[in-house]
Structure 1
Amino acid sequence: MSDRHVDQVADRVHTIVADVFRSLDHVLASVVACYRASGSFACADLAAVRPEIFDCLSRTHEVVAGAGVIMAPGVLADRRRWLEWWQAPPEQDPVFLNVDLDPDSLDYYDYTAAEWFAVPERTRRRHAVGPYVDYGGTDTYMLTFTVPAEVDGRFLGVVGADVRAARFEALLLGVLAASPTQITLVNGEDRVVATNSPRLPAGSLLPDPGSDRLPLPELPWSIVTGARRATVLSA
């Protein structure tokens, strides 16, 4: 696939995603340093990571809606499971996300089964998930980016960030609107991440996946081109 509009979309996607992962790398470094400095890694030790989490939310406030650390079971000395997760409401201080981590509860949240946790645990590589409806947090379509935390071969958990799908698409609007043809960014299941077609809302399945697509490096996403659009929106 050779099209300058497609290349521009790919470059813009890469820039946005790279900025998110760059911020997560700072949180990751803090988690690793905290783990190494602790004789018995406990929940209270994660307070030392919060400044980096808050800084991530501050630096990326126009993109990231939530960020934090999700611990692998058994890593903390005093908690079997733990989410050190903070959300960033507009014009407000970060808010802690309190979820039910009691396996005997009807509302138990088993995050270890979530793709954003299970895939980095298995592959030890960064991952992107979505769009999906975040029923447990914001009830909106969300994208989640995660990075595995590992020390000397031990998997500690993941560092992650949530990005609202609508916000992600808005950040791509300029390059998408400039294309005279339909351009759709899809995930591995051919669900729409972003597009310049008003008929394809985020999260919907691409009705005609076609064969003309550009896989994006290090992401489970592809760019698919379609028919010529009737009009081109102003950027």
Structure 2
Amino acid sequence: MNELADRARSIIEEVFASLEEIRESVVTCYRSSAGFCTADLAGVRPEIFRCLGRAPETLAGAGMIVAPGVLADRPRWLEWWQAPDPTFLDVDLDPGSLDFYDYTAAEWFAVPERTRHRHIVGPYVDYGGTDTYMLTLTAPVEDGPRFLGVVGADVRAARFEALLLAELTACPTEVALVNAEGRVVVANSPRHPAGSLLHEAGERLPGLPWALVSARQAAGASANP
């Protein structure tokens, strides 16, 4: 099971490494601009496109989500591009609209803003985009004390599981990776599909907000009143 944890961590770290390149590009554009605006974000797109191009089957989208008040010409903005083309994601950012997308309330934005640390959300059903299970990885973007927003990427949960197939198959017992809410990220049993709840305690994985639950641990938890 150590191989499963190591492989999962490796995949996640590769995505965060790409996000770090986008973050550095955002900070460079911000510092070189006299009045940071949406046009300046064109300078970040090459890094976003490179991120998507490295793993077009794994990543559904990537980009920069700007904190309110940072841009000179827009109160809010998503510089978000979807794979594989890539295609710009156009969302309603008008607070007066019924379809207003308040991304500041989303966990993937609010947690990095509060903690100034990277974060992983999911798996969850992306009803607003692909209607499939996703993992969203985000990291804060800062210039000194100023919070500029977050960089992020959507990882297809099914593809993430496929990348772990060899390690999942090699486990001698049923095993699952679960998030802090107890939702299954990946498992080697059809009894525990992605997104289902598995409340048994497991072994926390260093560097990831997940735990590894084995059949033995689950059985032990069930045996104790």
TM-score by length of 1: 0.90
Matched, 1:105 2:97: yes
Matched, 1:119 2:111: yes
1:77 CA displacement: 0.4
What is the distance in 1 between the residues matched to 2:173 and 2:51? 36
- 1:135 corresponds in structure 2 to 127
1:210 CA displacement: 3.0
Q: Which digits, 9 at most, give the CA deviation of each residue in 1:70-129, with x for residues without a partner?
A: 00000000100000000003xxx2000111101111111000000000000000001000
2:183, 2:195 within 8 Å by CA — same for their partners in 1?
A: yes
In structure 2, which of residues 35, 42, 52 is the aligned counterpart of residue 40 of structure 1? 35
- The DSSP-based 3-state class of the residue aligned with 2:40 is helix
In structure 2, which of residues 196, 200, 205 is the aligned counterpart of residue 210 of structure 1? 200
1:227 CA displacement: 4.5
Identity %: 68
- 2:220 corresponds in structure 1 to none
Matched, 1:22 2:17: yes
- The DSSP-based 3-state class of the residue aligned with 1:84 is strand
1:218 CA displacement: 2.5
- The DSSP-based 3-state class of the residue aligned with 1:181 is coil
In structure 2, which of residues 195, 201, 212 is the aligned counterpart of residue 223 of structure 1? 212
Between 48-57 and 216-225, report the one with greater CA deviation: 216-225
- The DSSP-based 3-state class of the residue aligned with 1:31 is helix
Instruction: Kindly provide the amino acid, as one letter, of the partner of residue 65 in structure 1.
Output: A
- 2:64 corresponds in structure 1 to 69
Structure 2 unaligned blocks of 5 or more: 218-225
- Decide which structure has greater helix share: 2
In structure 2, which of residues 47, 50, 75 is the aligned counterpart of residue 52 of structure 1? 47
- The DSSP-based 3-state class of the residue aligned with 1:102 is coil
What is the distance in 1 between the residues matched to 2:134 and 2:3? 23
Instruction: Kindly provide the amino acid, as one letter, of the partner of residue 192 in structure 1.
Output: V
Instruction: Kindly provide the amino acid, as one letter, of the partner of residue 158 in structure 2.
Output: A
Structure 1 unaligned blocks of 5 or more: 1-5, 229-235
Instruction: Kindly provide the amino acid, as one letter, of the partner of residue 99 in structure 2.
Output: D
Q: Which digits, 9 at most, give the CA deviation of each residue in 1:44-71, with x for residues without a partner?
A: 1000000000011011223211000000
- 1:179 corresponds in structure 2 to 171
Matched, 1:162 2:154: yes
- 1:233 corresponds in structure 2 to none
What is the distance in 2 between the residues matched to 1:23 and 1:116? 17
In structure 2, which of residues 140, 143, 146 is the aligned counterpart of residue 148 of structure 1? 140
Instruction: Kindly provide the amino acid, as one letter, of the partner of residue 215 in structure 2.
Output: G
Matched, 1:191 2:186: no
TM-score by length of 2: 0.94
Deviation beyond 3 Å, 4+ runs, structure 1: none
Instruction: Kindly provide the amino acid, as one letter, of the partner of residue 30 in structure 1.
Output: S
Between 58-67 and 148-157, report the one with greater CA deviation: 58-67
1:137 CA displacement: 1.1
Matched, 1:86 2:81: yes
2:9, 2:208 within 8 Å by CA — same for their partners in 1?
A: no
- 2:5 corresponds in structure 1 to 10
2:60, 2:153 within 8 Å by CA — same for their partners in 1?
A: yes
